Amino acid sequence: MTYQNPKPCDKDFTDFLEFSVHLFLLEPNGGNFGWRKMHILSALLIIQLQMSPDTSRQKLILLNINE
C-alpha cells in the first residue's frame, strides 16, 4: 500500500490535524516529547494551510493553535 498525499480540500486530513493539535495542547507540559511535538505539528499545519483553498478554515485552525 502506498501513501497518498492529501488533496488540497481533503477535509478528513485537516480535521485530523486539528484534532491532533488539540490533543497535544491538552497534554500537561507538552507530553513526553515536549516542544518537539509542537514543532512537528506546526510544520504539518503550515503545509496543510498552504494547500487549503478555504481561508476561513485556515483562520479557524490558527485560532485553535493560539488558544
Q: Is residue 43 part of a domain?
A: yes
Q: Domain count of the chain? A: 1
- Considering only CA atoms, which of 7, 42, 2, 9 is closest in space to residue 25? 42
- What string of H, E and C letters represents the secondary structure of the chain? CCCCCCCCCCHHHHHHHHHHHHHHHHCHHHCCCCHHHHHHHHHHHHHHHHHCCCHHHHHHHHHHHHC
- Residue 59: give the domain boundaries: 11-23+35-66
Q: pTM here?
A: 0.27
Q: Is residue 1 part of a domain?
A: no
Mean pLDDT of the chain: 59
Q: Is residue 45 part of a domain?
A: yes
Write down the pLDDT at residue 59: 55
Q: Is residue 39 part of a domain?
A: yes
pLDDT digits (tens, 9 = 90+) for 3-19: 455 555 556 666 666 66
Q: Is residue 60 part of a domain?
A: yes
Q: Is residue 56 part of a domain?
A: yes
